[in-house]
A and B are shown apart, each in its own frame.
Chain A
Amino acid sequence: MFDPVIAETRFGMGLSPQQPLPTGVEDMMVRLAGPDLAAARFPIPTYDAAYPSLGQLTAVSRDRNAARRAGQDDQAEQLEQERRDMLRAAQVLQQQTLAATLARAIDGEDGLRERLVRFWADHFTVTARVGGSSHLVTPFVETAIRPHVTGRFVDMLMVVTLHPMMLLYLDQTQSVGPDSRVGGGGRRGLNENLAREVLELHTMGVAGGYAQDDVRQLAELFTGLTLDEDRAFWFRTEAAEPGEEVVLGQTYGPTPQLAEIRRALFDIAARPETARHIAQKLAVHFVSDRPAPDLVAALAEDFMATGGDLLSLVRTLLDHPAAWAAERAKVKDPFSFIAASLRALGVSGAAITGLGPRILRRDFVRPLGLMGQPWENPVGPDGWPEEPEAWVTPQGMAARINWALSVPRRMVDRLPMPMHFVTDALGPNPAPAVVQAARDAPNRRDGVAVILCSAAFQRR
């Protein structure tokens, strides 16, 4: 059952010489249910507060083009300069939000919350579709994901599905009811992308038993979800397909309205297939790629019984004996590897948020890419892989070894003695092979690197 080292590694961000180990599941749950201290300590702007916004980026391009067309060259030049300044600010913000995300992970008492935020942000993956707007991904997570990780699944699903970042990412802003006024008798029409991924990835899962026609009908129901000229959410009735839609046997409509879309999402979120899919994903993410069936069953049951209460779901996970299995079947993804390494080294969050853009690029952005996890840029809406084999490749290991050899000494005044660091990183009972390597290391740099590269440190 409960083990403090497993608690911090499998369900947290790793051991820290500066943070006491949790004393039990209750201790972990109290922190998780309590105030979000890390967010207060290392702020990330909300989506609406982030500068430049999608609206601002869009407006400046539009105004510049208008000025060019009107032959107002000076005005156009000034707007172009403004646009470039915005793109620079966007780049800076993206690096700052990476630094803040890392800072929260390495310098906090509630690693479980950070892990849950990353889990759900990955479940609802978005990447930037509008040029120069990658800096809005973390603010999206801050707004649409983070407040809901201890709330209800359906609330997160609603916010995410109707969010401008998701509507853009999965092409919903383009989709138009073929028989709507905007559709103009089939001139413009449906795009199935968001409807398909809501069913396949976000709720029921690919084995959930929905049919192509459900995808189609849901896509019809979703028409009208779009953005206005400032790229703010707009339910555009004239673009919505008129008439009833039947999704999974339930009828919605016939009058297009946002409430019907919400009702459908509510119904889909409450389905047992959704409960099973979320249960399976959570167990796979935290425990094993082949989780114990009774763990998945317990999670699914809890999801159904509580109407998708995510705090209760986490408690059920932590209360289950399979969650504390001795076998460490998962491997830290690259972000977690970097965060756990800095945490073990006792690097403060403020030290990371104080780094300049060049160092952030060299020591974090680029290495994450080489380790196979380019920051905020997974290939598809299914997010990052779960299997250890996806990360522990020769090229991935080479990147981890290089990082472990070069970055730690730049992040602390003096590297720790390997023989001390081995317990900082692995807890009071480190694996003998790692202790031996720490003892044999020719210097602190190599010793620290070898400990960080060990299977014992990278598994969880």
Chain B
Amino acid sequence: MALSRRDMLLGGAALGCSAAASPLMTPVAFADVPGDNRLVVIVLRGAMDGLDVLRPYGDPFYAGLRPTLAAGGGADLDGFFGLHPALAPLRPLWDAGDLGFAHATSTPYRDVRSHFDGQDVLEAGVADPKGDLRDGWLNRLVQVVPGAQSDTAYAIGRDRMLILAGAAEVAHWAPEAQLDLNPRTRRLIELVHDGDPLFEQASAEAIEIAQQIDAEAEMTEALEDQIAADPMMGEIALRGDHIRLAEFAAGRLRGASRIASFSLAGWDTHNRQGQHLPRALDRLAAVLLTLRVGLADHWDRTAILCLTEFGRTVRENGTLGTDHGTGGAMIYAGGALRGGRVLGDWPGLSDFDLYDGRDLMPTRDVRAYAAWVLRGLYGVKPSTLAGMIFPGVDLGADPGIVR
């Protein structure tokens, strides 16, 4: 084929359709995929302090509980909540209605406040750590989405993503991975595992994905150039693993993939949170903007959920940080979602309102928000949502997140 990268990009633009619709760019025919909506779930590992990210400065107790952390102010969003200054680059998304929050939310996990159990519960989508932790709720979603292929859902990065583990076939890759084999060695590697399914599948997938990514190298480069040149990226530094993750996710989602998940670390701010949290938020803002720009025309059909295992104590601790808590915030973004607002019933921060006398009281199960997003994006039935994907979740009223 003599089509150059430029031709393809121009052609896509001229036809008013996406590059992903070109059969040249993906081995999976466009008609086979489960609809056009995209879902990205970002797991914020370490417990993001929702009270610092989305500051309830309208609550009369907030300033007293956060004497140093609240001092920096924050941009007003709605007269009650303010946005952490480090998320200022996302303000245009908020103004466009493409960024929103749910506050005072959490998984059903309570009391022991272990990161590791908390993340398991979040990713498994179950009620408590004694539940079934063998598969993740995004995998169970893939099981019910019609027409799902092996590359419909992508777990990206080197971390294990329980959220996508399970019976449905999903793809795994890290942006920095590569593999270049001659056909004969490839054949030997396919045979040598002697029926061990774990090794056979991982090897076969490695070989297949590496070939596909290799074949798309030019397109990937074009995408990176496009992201770098977009004025929306502002002063964001396009360096680091988090940028690679977001670029890779955008590239997959422009192609045949519809669901992607990866994690961002750095949220466990026991100590000098005023210095550490902005770094994590800088990365998160860069990731969301990279997805915004990278997904281009697909943005309007994209939903991004940023979830964390639990919130942090309402009071600053003795070391200018916060300890493990309960209620926190969910961040959502994407043109498919109705942003520009903060969802959730605010429980208040007086001593009587707190959970266990120390934490923000969760007023809604974060799984309910996620469930309603799945309903809106993929039409998943309430009985499936509450029975299989998030067992036992109280769906409650539709918060109307999906446009």
Residues of A near any B CB (own CB < 8 A): 171, 174-176, 178, 183, 188-193, 196, 200, 206, 211-212, 215, 331, 369-370, 372, 379-380, 382, 385, 387-390, 392-399, 401-402, 405, 431-434, 436-437, 440-442, 446, 449-451, 453-456, 458-459
In the complex, which residues 142-193 of chain B have their Cβ closer than 8 Å to any Cβ of chain A?
158-160, 165, 171-174, 176-179, 181, 184-185, 188-189, 191-193
Q: Which one of B114, B192, B194 has the highest number of Cβ atoms from chain A below 10 Å of its Cβ?
A: B192
Which of A174, A189, A395, A442 contacts B173 (CB under 8 A)? Answer: A395
Which of A380, A402, A436 contacts B191 (CB under 8 A)? Answer: A436
Number of interface residues of B (CB under 8 A): 53
CA distance A369 to B268 in the complex (A): 22
Minimum CB–CB distance from B383 to chain A (whole Å) comes to 30
B112 contacts the other chain (Cβ, under 8 Å)?
yes
Asked whether, in the complex, the Cβ of A196 is within 8 Å of the Cβ of B319, the reply is no
B232 contacts the other chain (Cβ, under 8 Å)?
no
Minimum CB–CB distance from B275 to chain A (whole Å) comes to 13
A190 to B, closest residue via Cβ: B318
Q: Which 7 A-B pairs have the closest CB atoms?
A: A189-B318, A433-B194, A174-B319, A455-B196, A455-B199, A395-B177, A395-B174
Asked whether, in the complex, the Cβ of A175 is within 8 Å of the Cβ of B319, the reply is yes
Asked whether, in the complex, the Cβ of A397 is within 8 Å of the Cβ of B191, the reply is no
Asked whether, in the complex, the Cβ of A397 is within 8 Å of the Cβ of B202, the reply is yes
Asked whether, in the complex, the Cβ of B116 is within 8 Å of the Cβ of A206, the reply is yes
* Given A382-B116, A454-B194, 17 more pairs with CB closer than 8 A: A171-B319, A174-B319, A189-B318, A190-B317, A191-B317, A192-B324, A211-B111, A370-B177, A379-B159, A389-B160, A393-B202, A394-B173, A395-B177, A433-B195, A434-B192, A437-B191, A446-B184
Asked whether, in the complex, the Cβ of B205 is within 8 Å of the Cβ of A394, the reply is yes
Minimum CB–CB distance from A216 to chain B (whole Å) comes to 9
Which of B165, B196, B268 contacts A459 (CB under 8 A)? Answer: B196
Asked whether, in the complex, the Cβ of A191 is within 8 Å of the Cβ of B318, the reply is yes
B98 contacts the other chain (Cβ, under 8 Å)?
no
Asked whether, in the complex, the Cβ of B177 is within 8 Å of the Cβ of A394, the reply is yes
Q: Which one of B159, B176, B270, B321 has the highest number of Cβ atoms from chain A below 10 Å of its Cβ?
A: B270
Q: Known A190-B317, A191-B270, A456-B194; judge A397-B199 contact (CB<8 A).
A: yes
Asked whether, in the complex, the Cβ of A401 is within 8 Å of the Cβ of B319, the reply is no
Residues of B near A392 (CB, < 8 A) are: 198-199, 202
CA distance A60 to B206 in the complex (A): 48
CA distance A451 to B206 in the complex (A): 17
B210 contacts the other chain (Cβ, under 8 Å)?
yes
Pick 30 A–B contacts, CB within 8 A, sort by A: A174-B271, A176-B319, A188-B319, A189-B318, A190-B323, A191-B319, A192-B323, A206-B117, A206-B129, A369-B158, A370-B177, A372-B158, A380-B46, A388-B198, A390-B160, A393-B172, A394-B172, A394-B205, A395-B206, A397-B203, A398-B177, A401-B179, A401-B203, A405-B185, A437-B191, A437-B192, A442-B184, A450-B189, A453-B189, A454-B193
Asked whether, in the complex, the Cβ of A389 is within 8 Å of the Cβ of B198, the reply is yes
A178 to B, closest residue via Cβ: B318
Asked whether, in the complex, the Cβ of A446 is within 8 Å of the Cβ of B188, the reply is yes
Which of B117, B165, B189, B318 contacts A174 (CB under 8 A)? Answer: B318
CA distance A215 to B111 in the complex (A): 11
Residues of A near B158 (CB, < 8 A) are: 369-370, 372, 393, 395-396
Minimum CB–CB distance from A231 to chain B (whole Å) comes to 16
B45 contacts the other chain (Cβ, under 8 Å)?
yes
In the complex, which residues 346-387 of chain B have their Cβ closer than 8 Å to any Cβ of chain A?
356
B180 to A, closest residue via Cβ: A402
Residues of B near A395 (CB, < 8 A) are: 158, 172-174, 177, 206
Asked whether, in the complex, the Cβ of A434 is within 8 Å of the Cβ of B194, the reply is yes
Minimum CB–CB distance from A185 to chain B (whole Å) comes to 12
B176 to A, closest residue via Cβ: A370
Residues of A near B193 (CB, < 8 A) are: 433, 454-455
Q: Known A380-B115, A395-B172, A441-B188; judge A212-B356 contact (CB<8 A).
A: yes
B21 contacts the other chain (Cβ, under 8 Å)?
no
Residues of A near B210 (CB, < 8 A) are: 398
Which of A176, A401, A454 contacts B181 (CB under 8 A)? Answer: A401
Minimum CB–CB distance from A261 to chain B (whole Å) comes to 18
Q: Which one of B174, B178, B265 has the highest number of Cβ atoms from chain A below 10 Å of its Cβ?
A: B174
Minimum CB–CB distance from B240 to chain A (whole Å) comes to 14
Asked whether, in the complex, the Cβ of B199 is within 8 Å of the Cβ of A398, the reply is no
Asked whether, in the complex, the Cβ of B206 is within 8 Å of the Cβ of A398, the reply is yes
State the majority secondary structure of interface residues on A: helix
Asked whether, in the complex, the Cβ of B206 is within 8 Å of the Cβ of A401, the reply is yes
Q: Known A196-B324, A372-B158, A401-B181; judge A394-B202 contact (CB<8 A).
A: yes
Q: Known A171-B270, A446-B184; judge A212-B111 contact (CB<8 A).
A: yes
Residues of A near B265 (CB, < 8 A) are: 379
B112 to A, closest residue via Cβ: A206
CA distance A190 to B179 in the complex (A): 49
In the complex, which residues 119-148 of chain B have their Cβ closer than 8 Å to any Cβ of chain A?
129
Residues of B near A176 (CB, < 8 A) are: 318-319
B113 contacts the other chain (Cβ, under 8 Å)?
yes
A194 to B, closest residue via Cβ: B270
Minimum CB–CB distance from A458 to chain B (whole Å) comes to 7
Residues of A near B88 (CB, < 8 A) are: none
CA distance A394 to B210 in the complex (A): 9
Residues of B near A393 (CB, < 8 A) are: 158, 160, 172, 202
B209 contacts the other chain (Cβ, under 8 Å)?
yes
Residues of A near B318 (CB, < 8 A) are: 174-176, 178, 183, 188-191
CA distance A200 to B324 in the complex (A): 13
CA distance A188 to B176 in the complex (A): 43
CA distance A369 to B271 in the complex (A): 27
CA distance A454 to B193 in the complex (A): 5
Minimum CB–CB distance from A76 to chain B (whole Å) comes to 24
Residues of A near B179 (CB, < 8 A) are: 398, 401-402
CA distance A263 to B201 in the complex (A): 51
Minimum CB–CB distance from B151 to chain A (whole Å) comes to 11
Minimum CB–CB distance from A181 to chain B (whole Å) comes to 14
Minimum CB–CB distance from A169 to chain B (whole Å) comes to 11
Residues of A near B195 (CB, < 8 A) are: 433
A366 to B, closest residue via Cβ: B176
Minimum CB–CB distance from A423 to chain B (whole Å) comes to 15
CA distance A458 to B200 in the complex (A): 12
CA distance A455 to B204 in the complex (A): 13
CA distance A211 to B113 in the complex (A): 10
CA distance A431 to B196 in the complex (A): 12
Asked whether, in the complex, the Cβ of A432 is within 8 Å of the Cβ of B112, the reply is no
Minimum CB–CB distance from B212 to chain A (whole Å) comes to 11
Residues of B near A189 (CB, < 8 A) are: 317-319
CA distance A331 to B196 in the complex (A): 12
Residues of A near B176 (CB, < 8 A) are: 370
Residues of A near B203 (CB, < 8 A) are: 394, 397, 401, 453
CA distance A188 to B158 in the complex (A): 38
Asked whether, in the complex, the Cβ of B45 is within 8 Å of the Cβ of A379, the reply is yes
CA distance A370 to B45 in the complex (A): 20
Residues of B near A394 (CB, < 8 A) are: 171-173, 177, 202-203, 205-206, 209
CA distance A188 to B116 in the complex (A): 28
Residues of B near A190 (CB, < 8 A) are: 317-319, 323
CA distance A385 to B203 in the complex (A): 20
Residues of A near B198 (CB, < 8 A) are: 331, 388-389, 392, 455
